Structure 1
C-alpha cells in the first residue's frame, strides 16, 4: 500500500484499540428523512462532535422545528459533554442541517470538506444566487482536506476525502470509528447514488475501495437507512469487514466496471429526493436560510425543469 494518508489512518485505528482511546457513539435516527445523526465523544475529556444533524422541516407549510436537535441537546447536557465540532460529511440533499441551532445552544466549530466550494458554485448557478451568496465556503468555520488531522479530546481524528456521491464528501475517522456520510449504506442496501451534479459512479467505487482497505474491525457509522427488503428494523452501524463480505453492491468480488454499470443503471431509475431543493439551498449555506427579503421574510426557491 502506497497511500500515506490511509497508512496513517490504519495506524490510528491500531493505536486507538490498543490504548483504549476509542470514542463513545450515540446515534439519533430521524425516520422522516431516514437520517442517522451521531454524537461522538471522548469518555475521558468529555469532548464531543455532532455529525450530520437534522432540522425538522415541514415542506407543505414551510415551517421548521427542533425536536430532532433538541434530543441531541438533551443527551449532550445529560452526559456533561463539551461540543468541539459540528461536522457535516457533505451538503446533504435529503435533510436540512440543524448545525446553526446546535451551535447557538451548544457551541462547536462547523466543518465540511473544502470542495463545498464546487457544490456552492454549481448550485449557486442552479438557484440563480446573486453576489450576496459567497461561493468560497466562508459560511463554515473550517474547510478540511484529505489527510487533515485533528483531535477530539485525547482521541485522534483523520479526515478522508471520499468523493463520488458528491465532490465534497468526507469520511471522518475518529479513533476506530469511521463516519462515512452517504457513501455506504448497510450491507444489505448497498451504496449511495452518484447522479447528483458533480457525482460520479467510478469515483465513488474508488473512494469505497479506499475505505475498505481499513482494518475489518473498523466500526462504521452510516448517515441513512431505508430498511432493505426482508429487514424490519432500521440500522446504521456496520464494520469494514461486514461491508467487504456482504455489501450487495461493492463486496470484495465486485469489479469496478460492473459496479459503474450497476450504479448508473440504478441511478437512472431514481427520482429526486423529496427535500433536495430546500435542503441544498440551506446546507450550502452551512445550515442557514437565505437572507430575508424587504418584507423581513426568508424564501426558498423552486427552480423549474432543471433537476
Structure 2
C-alpha cells in the first residue's frame, strides 16, 4: 500500500510534520507535530498545529493516531492540542520511560511526575503493529539518537524521526543522555534493510550547502549516497559521529522541549496550576 503523505515545514525549528492517510479510507495519522514557542517571551502559540487541523478538517479525514518518533529536544509537540480538536491516540516508543527517568532527575521533577509512560495512550515495542484504517503500521525500535527512537513503517513509507537525515545531511547526533553512536549505526542499518523503493520521510532538514529544504528520499538513495554511512565501517562511523558531536551546540529549545515532550506535549505547571518551565543550572 502507498499512503498519501502531506508534509508541513516549520522554519523556526526546521521540523517537518507529516499527515499520513490510509489510501482505502478517510483515516489518517499525524507524525511529529509542532507547537510554536517564543522562548524569550515565554509565549506559546498554535499556528503550525492549526494549519494541520484545518487541513484534516477540510479533507474530511478522521485522525486516529498522533505519533511521536521520539522525545524531541528541538521543538514542542502539539499532540494534545491536536488531539483535543480531532481525537486520536498519542503513541511513542516504550523506552520513553528511560527518557523520563533521566530527565525527571535533571529537571528535579517531584513524585507527581509519573515515569511509566502513562501520559501517552500507547507505548510501542519493537515490531508492534497498529492500524490507520485498513493500513497496517509497524514500529521499529531505532535507538542511538535517544533510547526511545522509533521508525514507523506505513505501507511503502517510513518515518524515521531524527535517526536519518537526507543523504547530504547524514545522521542525527548521538550525544544526548542515553544516546549511543554504535546503536545509531545499527539503527540506520535496520532502516536501510527495508526495500529499496521505500519512501523515507525526515523529521528535520537544514538545507546543507544552501539547497532547498527537502524531506523525502528512498532507501536506495540513502544507502548509496548518505555522507555519514557510504563507504564507512561501523567503527569509522562511531569515530566520525563522536568527533562531530563534540563540536555541536546544545539545541536552543532543549530545555522547554524536553519538559513538555516527556509529558506527551502537556506543559508542566507550578503548585498553583500555572504553566511553568524550569531551567536547570549546569544540569545538561
Q: Structure 2-normalised TM-score?
A: 0.98
Aligned length: 284
Alignment of 1:275 onto 2:253: yes
Distance in structure 2 (CA, Å) of the matches to 1:149 and 1:109: 14
What is the RMSD computed on CA atoms of the aligned residues?
0.8
2:49 maps to what in 1?
69
Choose which of 123, 131, 135 in structure 2 pairs with 1:151. Answer: 131
Q: In the alignment, is residue 303 of structure 1 matched against residue 280 of structure 2?
A: yes
- Write the distance in 1 (CA, Å) between the matches of 2:263 and 2:246: 28
Match in the other structure for 1:5:
none
**Consecutive unaligned residues in structure 1, runs of 5 or more:** 1-20
Output the CA distance in 1 between the equivalents of 2:122 and 2:283: 31
Report the secondary structure of 2:208's partner residue. coil
For residue 209 of structure 2, give the secondary structure of its aligned residue in structure 1: coil
Shift of 1:152: 1.3
State the Cα distance separating 1:229 from its structure 2 match.
Answer: 1.1
1:132-211 matches, cutoff 5 A: 132-211=112-191
Does the 8 Å contact 2:269/2:277 carry over to 1? no
Task: Decide whether the 8 Å contact of 1:53 with 1:99 is kept in 2.
Answer: yes
Task: Please tell me whether residue 240 in structure 1 is matched to residue 212 in structure 2.
Answer: no
Residues 237-266 of structure 1: per-residue CA shift (max 9 Å, x gap): 111000001100012x22100000000000
1:43 partnered with 2:20: no
Is contact 1:97-1:283 (8 Å) kept? yes
CA distance in 1, matches of 2:136, 2:282: 45
In structure 1, how many angstroms separate the alpha carbons of the residues matched to 2:250 and 2:135? 38
Deviations 1:259-283 (A, max 9, x none): 0000000000001000000000000
- Report the counterpart of residue 289 of structure 1 in structure 2: 267
Are the aligned partners of 1:177 and 1:221 in contact in 2 as well (CA < 8 Å)? yes
- CA positional deviation for 1:209: 0.7
SS of 1:229's equivalent? helix
Separation (CA, whole Å) in 2 of partners of 1:143 and 1:196: 21
2:70 paired with 1:103: no
Residues 150-204 of structure 1 show CA distances to partners (whole Å, capped at 9, x for unaligned) of 1211212111000000000000000110000000001001000000000000000
Which residue number in structure 2 is paired with residue 131 of structure 1?
111
Between the aligned partners of 2:70 and 2:283, the Cα distance in structure 1 is 22
- Partner of residue 193, structure 2: 213
Task: Note the C-alpha offset of 1:230.
Answer: 4.3
- Return the offset for 1:22: 1.5
Shift of 1:305: 1.1
Q: CA–CA distance in 2 between the matches of 1:152 and 1:104? A: 19
Q: Distance in 2 between matches of 1:291 and 1:49?
A: 29
Instruction: Give the drift of 1:293.
Output: 2.5
Verify: 1:26 aligned to 2:6, yes or no: yes
> Which consecutive residues of structure 2, in runs of 5 or more, have no partner in the other structure?
none
Q: CA deviation at 1:44?
A: 2.1
Which contiguous aligned blocks of 4+ residues in structure 1 show a shift greater than 3 angstroms?
none
What's the CA shift for 1:82? 0.3
What secondary structure, in the 3-state scheme, does the structure 1 residue paired with 2:138 have? Answer: strand
TM-superposed CA distance for 1:210, in Å, is 1.2
